[in-house]
Amino acid sequence: MDVGIVGYGSYIPVYRIKVEAIAKVWGQDAETMRKGLKVDEKSVPAPDEDTATIAVEASRNAMLRARINPKRIGAVYVGSESHPYAVKPTATILAEALEATPNLTAADFEFACKAGTASMQAIFGLVKAEMIEYGVAVGSDTSQGAPGGALEYTAAAGGASFIIGKANLIAKLNGTRSFTTDTPDFWRRERQAYPRHGGRFTGEPAYFKHILTASKNMMNGLGLEPKDINYFVPHQPNGKFPRQAAKKLGFTEDQLLQGLLSPQIGNTYSGASPLGLTAVLDIAKPDEKILLTSYGSGAGSDSFVFTVTDKILEVQGLAPKTSDYINKKKYVDYGTYAKYRGKINLADE
């Protein structure tokens, strides 16, 4: 029995801050930061947006494409590293907003930047096992980087949602593989506002080792080579790492660029590679193959291969495209950004 994606949707907040605006405040050279990270600007959530509101907007778009009765949804999983509550699930808010309640299961997933693909993988399994008819898997984040730190240039907000099922597929799942180790490259302790990273751990033994191994294992498992894949969508913490990973795996820039959004919106954490997948699905043609590989610090990668079906053409225009959200933007200065992100301590706090 085939399983796959029945509907997909994305959401990116309208506000942006440029690398220049951040560099100016901290006395850093904007050109150096921009070239080093290959990121020009990042998305900023409005003060009344959070992981839950982004998950709802993205999932409503996914439902516009899936065109199913929400009561047939048997599971709602939301992956994030910025759930609004420490205790109280985001997934119940989303399930209620989709009117999928009450006869379903719901849970929140956490695994740094790969919580979204972890929830996708779990939903594929539940559908494949015929425990549910449809499931919703979301990657959504409003991530924070400490003021003045390197992560502040990229920590962004956005999300993607997938309605997963076994009928009327727009993209069939060919397979999924994961690669997981205990690697202390990046973490945030309970009640800490900002994460920390393990210095030199972040590149080779973390991002590259996991992304490359998971991607290779996935392709080998299905007997595929880079030339058989039309689009490679890796996790994108900046604009530089994905380019290097693509090159090491033997992918061309053409195979990478459609799903590479970080130069314009930054790192949307759990939303990052899932949003890249939505940008690919927006323009994909029947029979094209997509390799999606997430990365989450701590550390692990989930890799997926999808084959697009001819049903894709019916649904692409049913909801806003990811490029619509990327192109619709309003710039804020650092002061406004700091206020929106709660980086200013008010008198009564």
Using the rule CB under 8 A, is 224 a contact of another protein? no
Which listed residue (21, 22, 52, 261) binds another protein by CB under 8 A? 52
Structure-block tokens of residue 66: 């899936």
Using the rule CB under 8 A, is 227 a contact of another protein? no
Using the rule CB under 8 A, is 12 a contact of another protein? no
- The rounded Cα 292 to chain-centroid distance in angstroms is 11
Tell the smallest beta-carbon distance from residue 48 to another protein (Å): 4
Among 136-144, 288-296, 297-305, 340-348, which window interacts with another protein (CB under 8 A)? 340-348
Using the rule CB under 8 A, is 64 a contact of another protein? no
Using the rule CB under 8 A, is 125 a contact of another protein? no
Among 127-135, 144-152, 178-186, 336-344, which window interacts with another protein (CB under 8 A)? 336-344
Q: Please give the span between the terminal C-alpha atoms of the chain, in angstroms, as a whole number.
A: 56
Active site residue 197: no
Using the rule CB under 8 A, is 343 a contact of another protein? no
Q: Which of 41, 83, 210, 235 is catalytic?
A: 235
Integer Cα distance of 117 and 120 in angstroms: 5
Active site residue 81: yes
Tell the smallest beta-carbon distance from residue 141 to another protein (Å): 16
Decide: residue 29, CB within 10 A, 0-12 exposed, 13-18 middle, 19+ buried: exposed
**Collapsing DSSP states into helix, strand and coil, what is residue 349?**
coil
Active site residue 49: no
Using the rule CB under 8 A, is 337 a contact of another protein? no
Which listed residue (84, 147, 205, 221) binds another protein by CB under 8 A? 84
Integer Cα distance of 62 and 278 in angstroms: 10
Using the rule CB under 8 A, is 85 a contact of another protein? yes
Among 40-48, 144-152, 250-258, 263-271, which window interacts with another protein (CB under 8 A)? 40-48
Using the rule CB under 8 A, is 67 a contact of another protein? no
Q: Which of 41, 49, 83, 113 is catalytic?
A: 113
User: Which residue in the block uniquely carries the two structure tokens 């003021």?
Assistant: 147
Using the rule CB under 8 A, is 48 a contact of another protein? yes
Decide: residue 40, CB within 10 A, 0-12 exposed, 13-18 middle, 19+ buried: middle
Among 23-31, 96-104, 112-120, 142-150, which window interacts with another protein (CB under 8 A)? 96-104
Q: Which of 49, 81, 152, 288 is catalytic?
A: 81
Using the rule CB under 8 A, is 49 a contact of another protein? yes
Using the rule CB under 8 A, is 150 a contact of another protein? no
- Find the angle CA(144)-CA(148)-CA(149) to the nearest 5 degrees: 65
Got the DSSP string for 65-123?
HH---GGGEEEEEEE-S--S-SSS-HHHHHHHHTT--SSSEEEEE-BTBTHHHHHHHHH
Q: Which amino acid is at 204?
A: E
Please report, for residues 73, 155, 249, 311, 342, the alpha-carbon distance to residue 99 in angstroms, rounded to integers and kept in the order given. 9, 31, 42, 25, 31
Give 94 or 173: the residue with its C-beta nearer to another protein.
94
Integer Cα distance of 75 and 160 in angstroms: 16
**Collapsing DSSP states into helix, strand and coil, what is residue 48?**
coil
Give 37 or 104: the residue with its C-beta nearer to another protein.
104
Integer Cα distance of 92 and 84 in angstroms: 12
Structure-block tokens of residue 54: 């982004």
Which listed residue (7, 16, 57, 61) binds another protein by CB under 8 A? 57
Which listed residue (2, 40, 96, 110) binds another protein by CB under 8 A? 96
Using the rule CB under 8 A, is 56 a contact of another protein? yes
> Residue length, the chain?
349
Integer Cα distance of 62 and 275 in angstroms: 12
Q: Could you give the residue numbers annotated as active site?
A: 81, 113, 235
Interaction site with another protein (CB under 8 A) = 14-15, 46-50, 52-53, 56-57, 60, 84-85, 93, 96-97, 99, 330, 339-340, 342, 346, 349
